[in-house]
Structures are given as C-alpha cells and as structure tokens.
Amino acid sequence: MNIRNIAIIAHVDHGKTTLVDRILQATKVFRDNQETGELIMDNNDLERERGITIFSKNAAVEYNGVKINVIDTPGHADFGGEVERVLKMADGVILLVDAFEGPMPQTRFVLQKALHLNLKPIVVINKVDKPNCRPDEVHDAVFELFFNLDATEEQLNFPTYYGSGKNGWFNDSLTPTEDILPLMDGILKYVPSPVVTEGNLQLQITSLDYSSFLGRIAIGKVTRGTIKENMPISLMQTDGSIKKSRVRELYVFEGMGKKKVSEVVAGDLCAVVGLEDFNIGDTIADFENPEALPVISVDEPTMNMMFSINNSPFFGKDGKFVTSRHLRDRLMKETEKNLALRVVDTDSADSFLVYGRGILHLGVLIETMRREGYELTVGQPQVIVKEINGVKSEPYETLVVDVPQEYASKVIDLVTRRKGEMHVMETKGEMQHLEFEIPSRGLIGMRTQMLTQTAGEAVMAHRFLDYKPWKGPIPGRNNGVLIVKEAGTTTGYSLDKLQDRGFFFVDPGEEVYKGMIIGENNKPGDLVVNPNEGKKLTNMRASGSDAATSIAPKTLMTLEECMEYIQFDECIEVTPNFIRMRKTILDEEERKRQQKRLSAEAV
C-alpha cells in the first residue's frame, strides 16, 4: 500500500513544528509564490503567542507517489494526553532530539509510549548548526535511552539522520545537503506500510474536529475493512453500548486541508461526518457483526483546581458567559476532546473540581475560556493525594535543570528546600546538567524563583514519575500580600505613600474592591491598606511639597504565574480583560474569624 503514517515526537522546543514546515515545503504543498510564514501547523492564537504546540494536528503530503500522513504532536508533558492517543494512528515515529540538549524528560515519556505500541522509530538529531552541539554524544545517549526502555532488537537498530530544520537540510551523515529529501527517502524506506488484517470494518476515533457547517467530526485510522459514504455502521462506545448510525460524508487529509471522498480503505486516516454522541476511544465497526478495538488508556491527572462562577463585586461587568450553567457546559464540552481532563461536581452548584496534568494544562484551558468570553474564579492548584497500601502518597516528578555553572549551587539549594533529591550532576559544555526527584507540590511556584535566582539562565523541564510516600510540609510563599481595605479607585498619592510596604500589581486609576490583592508585602503576613485616599487640597502651597509622585510601574503577572503565586485562602478572578488575585473571603473580620476557627480545629 502506498501510504505511510508517521508521528513526530520530541521534547518541547526541539523543532517538531519546524520540521513539519520543511516537509510541507519540500513536497510542494504550497505554490512557489505563496506566502506561508513559519510554524504553519500552529494555527491557534495561543500556540503562536506561546511558541508551543498544544493540539496535535494532521497534514498529508505526497512524495514519489506515496501518501505520507504526518501528525504533529505537542512536546510539553502537560499535553501528554494528546500524544498518547494520536500515536494510535501512526505506524512509525520520527524522534527529534536537540544536538546540544540530548534526550530530555519528555523525550523519554513519548518514546516509551511509541515503543510500547511497537512503532518503527527514525531518530533525527536536529540543530547541528548550533555552537557547542555534540551530535555523536547525543546519538549514544539516544541509544542508551532506547536500551533502558527495553526496546526490541529491531527497534534498537534505528536509522539516524542529522540536520538543521531552521536551515532546511537533513542527511544520514553530518554533511549538509541542499534539502530534506534524504529524510523523505528514509521515511519511505524505514516506515512500514500500515498492517492490514482481513475482516470487517474497524476504525477507532482518536481525535475530534468541529465545523460550524458539518458539526462534530470523528478522526481516526481505518485499521480493517473499508468505510464508504452513506454506509450504515455500528458505533461501539467505551461503556459497552452499541448505537446504530450512518456515515454521511467522508474526508481524507490532503496538504493542510481535507478532501471529500466516497470510500477509504484500511491503513489510511480519515474524517467521518454524520455521527452523533461519539467520544474519543469509540470504535466505528461493521453494522451486522461489530467488533470493538481496545479502549485508549491515558495516564491519570496529577493536579486539581476548583473552578467557580465569578462572585466578586465586579461580577458580570466584563464577560458574556457568567452563570454556573455556562461554566458547567463549557467544562463538559472540553472533556470530550481533552482526554487528560476530568470534571467532578462538588457540593456547591456553583463550583466544579477540574483535574488536569499540570499548571500549563489547566492554564491553557482557563486562557481559552476567558478569550471566549467566560468569567470565572479559580482556586489554588492542589496535587492529587492517594492512599497506596495504607500509606499517604503524592505524585513525584523528574526535574531536569540545565544552568550555567556559577548558579548550580543556588538551584540545588532551592530544589532541596522544596524536598527534592539530586540524582545526577554532570557537565555539558559550559552548562551544569542537574536531575532531581521532587514532589509535584514542590514544583508549584518554583519556576519564577528559579529564574530569579539564575538571572533567567536556567532551562527547566519536568515529567510525572510515580506516586511515592508523602514528604511532609513544603514551604510556600515567604511574604504576605497587600489587601484593599475599601472599594474605590487607586490614587497616585496613596500608592506613593505605600511604596515602602512592598510592590504593586496595580497602577493609579484602577478600580479595586475590598479583599482584592494589589501587591506583595515586604514582610511575612498580610497587610490591609487603603490605596484610594486622595490628597487633601487646601489653597496654601509650599515649594517642593507638591512634587510629582514617582511610583514604580506595576508588576505584570501571567495567568500561570498567578496560579503558582496564590495560597490556599486566595483565588484568581479571570475575566476576558482582567486577571485579578483576591482573598476567597473578602471581608477582613470574616477572614479573622475563619482563621481562629481553623487554628482551634488544628489544636
């Protein structure tokens, strides 16, 4: 069969999406005079802003008469759920590794999944044009990684290509070529055609698409039989029930888009229109004799957050969707395509517990919702604690930090204070490579401190390892916060007088409400302040006393930084135009009473 299905997997920032750009350009998907830009597959606003892939995507190219279905996957551990399911559509993988950094935590995670599914790997060592690169050492490290992951004899005999996605060449040696055609030839040579068994139709839904014109679209690989337009089928759901349905339209991938066809044979990827109430993992099977494929299993979430309606005094001023029904419907809709996400109802009708893979995973969901016009309040991220064999256990992660040597001691000190243990310390060029095992709780809020301690030089990556016994309390934020005493509008006069108390998250002239957090205190403990006081005006003037106030500009914090910053009694108010931090209980007297109650219970 003249089809190859290949997924591109790698650690974040090793160049997957750039490689897809080069494949699309080499196979003349675009006209020569067509303006394509960079990172063509990252078509979502959030992906382009952050420079990361969040959703896996498909493209199809033709090379030497063979159709190649290319699947671009995310590289961030938080979006591992995306990678796990789309690997089911592939027959081979291109494992991309940076020629300087070598295999990183996420490389190990995705490679383990690919080897487990018995996919044929091609290793591509990218960025060999970088200074300090060490392609031969990286090749040995990749071989060692394969060996440690119990790869078969055949998988260990992987072909290796070297090159630079940025400069547009790949070759099976370190000699630069004009283009990436040697790699394209390698895909045809080493990636097997889809294995097709005889029997009735089987197609597992591994991805979803949505069109306002066609509705929900199911995407998957036809593993057996042939699927045709207007054909009656059985939809076998993950809970064991079977629904009878009919295929309305069929599409295959072509270039960056889809092409309508009348039938798709086994081995190809296709999009099916006309099915209702399907989920990822369901099987489209024969109408008469349906047989289900094994259900897709995705690793468990490790973190949860409380999502509630916005109940601040500024409720409803900014967003379109503000009720608990809006919030619940949107979260349930997200769980249909985001396999690593879970939503659980709580005792309160206005709050939902949302489980995810990490701060970035949940942060992207919140950011997407606020752009769609939702208002909500989110609480502090909490790790999921389990009881295993009668022992209280929590998730642990492998943390890898590459940092200039002069900052290594600061990094080690910071991580060990948060209950991390160092396992590896080695020198890579001018950088120190450190590997730790640390409770997931210890990572919350660490990134900002790490960058401050290392003058922004540290490169940090982590991935889930396992559940291990609880490590005890981990120190959180050292300083308290500045809280607004009364609602009003901040004035330059007040903020100027309060500057020696700490730094601010607001500028003069901003609307604030009672209980809102407007800055960080210089000392431990929270401080209630009044930032709304105006200067008392008289008709007497004294030289020098009316000099213009000089206030330091406010500290801007991203959504993820706010999520890492807040403590258990605080939350974040998220609206389409504002992100504000506040105390969960706005009234100061009520907060004190709550504090007394908690202290009494602790005793």
The CATH number that applies at residue 53 is 3.40.50.300
Of 602 and 234, the structure prediction assigns the larger pLDDT to: 234
Domain membership flag for residue 315 = no
Whether residue 251 is found in the same domain as residue 166: no
**Residue 231 domain-assigned (yes or no):** yes
Domain encompassing residue 451? 386-469
Average pLDDT over residues 422-450: 86
Q: In this structure, which amino acid lies at residue 543?
A: S
% residues pLDDT > 90 (the chain): 20
Q: What is the pLDDT of residues 7-64, one digit of tens each?
A: 888 877 777 778 887 888 777 765 554 544 545 555 556 666 656 666 677 788 888 8
Residues 256 and 276 in one domain: yes
Q: Which residue ranges make up the annotated binding site?
A: 13-18, 126-129
Q: Which residue has the higher pLDDT, 538 or 446?
A: 446
Return the higher-pLDDT residue of 556 and 76: 556
Shared domain for 215 and 244, answered yes or no, is yes
Give 40-78 as a DSSP string. TT--SHHHHHHTS--S-EEEEEEETTEEEEEEE---SGG
Question: Are 84 and 113 in contact, with CB atoms under 8 Å apart?
Answer: yes
pLDDT of residue 239: 79
Model pLDDT for residues 481-498, shown as the tens digit of each residue? 999 999 999 988 888 889
Q: Quick one: pLDDT at residue 33?
A: 45
Least confident among 85-89, 284-288, 362-366: 85-89
In a domain, 87, yes or no: yes
Using CB atoms within 10 Å of the CB of residue 289, give its burial: 0 to 12 exposed, 13 to 18 middle, 19+ buried: exposed
DSSP summary character for residue 555: P
In a domain, 295, yes or no: no
Domain end point (choices 270, 286, 302) = 286
Backbone angles phi, psi at 278, to 5 degrees: -105, 160
Taking residues 269-290, what's their average pLDDT? Answer: 84
Q: Which of 286, 315, 344 is the last residue of a domain?
A: 286
Cα 563 to Cα 174: distance, rounded to the nearest angstrom? 44
Residue 296 CB-half CA count within 13 A? 27
Q: Are residues 169 and 258 in the same domain?
A: no
d(CA 17, CA 356): 24
Per the domain annotation, does 16 fall within a domain?
Answer: yes
Mean pLDDT over 193-210 rounds to 82
pLDDT on residue 184: 87
Same-domain check for residues 415 and 506? no
Number of domains in the chain: 4
Residues 38 and 139 in one domain: yes
Indicate which CATH number applies to the domain containing 225. 2.40.30.10
Q: What are phi and psi of 378, to 5 degrees?
A: -120, 145
Which of the four pLDDT bands, split at 50, 70 and 90, describes residue 412?
very high
Q: Which of 227-236, 289-298, 553-562, 573-582 has the highest mean pLDDT?
A: 573-582
Using the 3D structure, point to which of 286, 301, 328 is the last residue of a domain. 286
The pTM of this model reads 0.80
Same domain, yes or no: 131 and 241: no
**CATH number of domain containing 424:** 3.30.70.240
Confidence at 325, pLDDT banded by 50, 70, 90: very high
Are 423 and 487 in a shared domain?
no
Task: Tell me, yes or no, whether 276 and 155 share the same domain.
Answer: no
Domain check: are 217 and 181 in the same one? Answer: no
Residue 84 located in a structural domain: yes
Are 170 and 22 found together in one domain? yes
- Per-residue model confidence (pLDDT) at position 489: 93
Binding-site sequence positions for GTP: 13-18, 126-129
Asked whether residue 90 is assigned to any structural domain, the reply reads: yes
Q: Which residue has the tokens 């040696």?
A: 173
Q: Are residues 22 and 145 in the same domain?
A: yes
Q: Give the pLDDT confidence of 461-484 residue by residue, as tens digits.
A: 887 888 899 988 888 778 899 999
Q: Please report the pLDDT score of residue 572 as a whole number.
A: 94
Query: Residue 223's beta-bridge partner residues?
Result: none
